[in-house]
Amino acid sequence: MSHNVIVDIAGAAVADSPEEVLVTYSLGSCLGVVLYDPVLHIGGMVHCMLPLSQIDAHKAAEKPFMFVDTGVMQLLEMMYKRGCRKKDLIVRAAGAARVMDNSNLFRIGERNYAVFRKVMWKNGLLIKREDIGGENSRTLRLHIATGQLTIRSGGVEWDL
């Protein structure tokens, strides 16, 4: 029997129990990053709202997962503390859509994704799969037992 562990907006979680499923909702312009170690069967998920923490140092110290630059790094550290090795990590990402920005003025999704790619590059990590952009929000579910990542958007569900 599975047990959902909800990853809130500007939150993160790491799980190692086969019954656990990490879930995050409402990934619009936000970026969801999922890490999975198939050797140790440990998974992590972060739901980041904004690209760079430098816009508000106080908020970044209080809620590091709010920002892609600090949130993804913090998630990596959480995984490494559990014994995960960089060479074993499977990296997947979803979100960064253009929602409620019809004029494409703020480009939060694009900026979130650009910062994420830079963080991955600086850390020598490859992105295995991604579902980025578009105009719809997404729900992600990471099944710890198998590493299966499902995305639900617009009433359709698929594996990533």
**Tens-place pLDDT, residues 22-78:** 999 999 999 999 999 999 999 999 999 999 998 888 888 899 999 999 999 999 999
What pLDDT shows up at residue 104? Answer: 57
What pLDDT shows up at residue 137? Answer: 94
Q: Which tokens go with 24?
A: 């995050």
Nearest to 47 by CA among 28, 61, 62: 28
Alpha-carbon span 31 to 28, nearest angstrom: 8
pLDDT, tens digit, 9 for 90 and up, residues 88-142:
999 999 999 987 655 555 789 999 999 999 999 999 999 999 999 998 999 999 9
Question: Which spans in 82-136 are helix H?
Answer: 108-122
- What is the CATH classification number for the domain harbouring 70? 3.30.1330.200
Alpha-carbon span 122 to 89, nearest angstrom: 15
What pLDDT shows up at residue 130? Answer: 97
What pLDDT shows up at residue 56? Answer: 85
Domain total in the chain? 1
Taking only Cα atoms into account, the Rg of the chain, rounded to an integer number of angstroms, comes to 15
What pLDDT shows up at residue 1? Answer: 78
Element (H, E) at 6: strand 3-6
Which residue range forms the structural domain that includes residue 66? 3-159
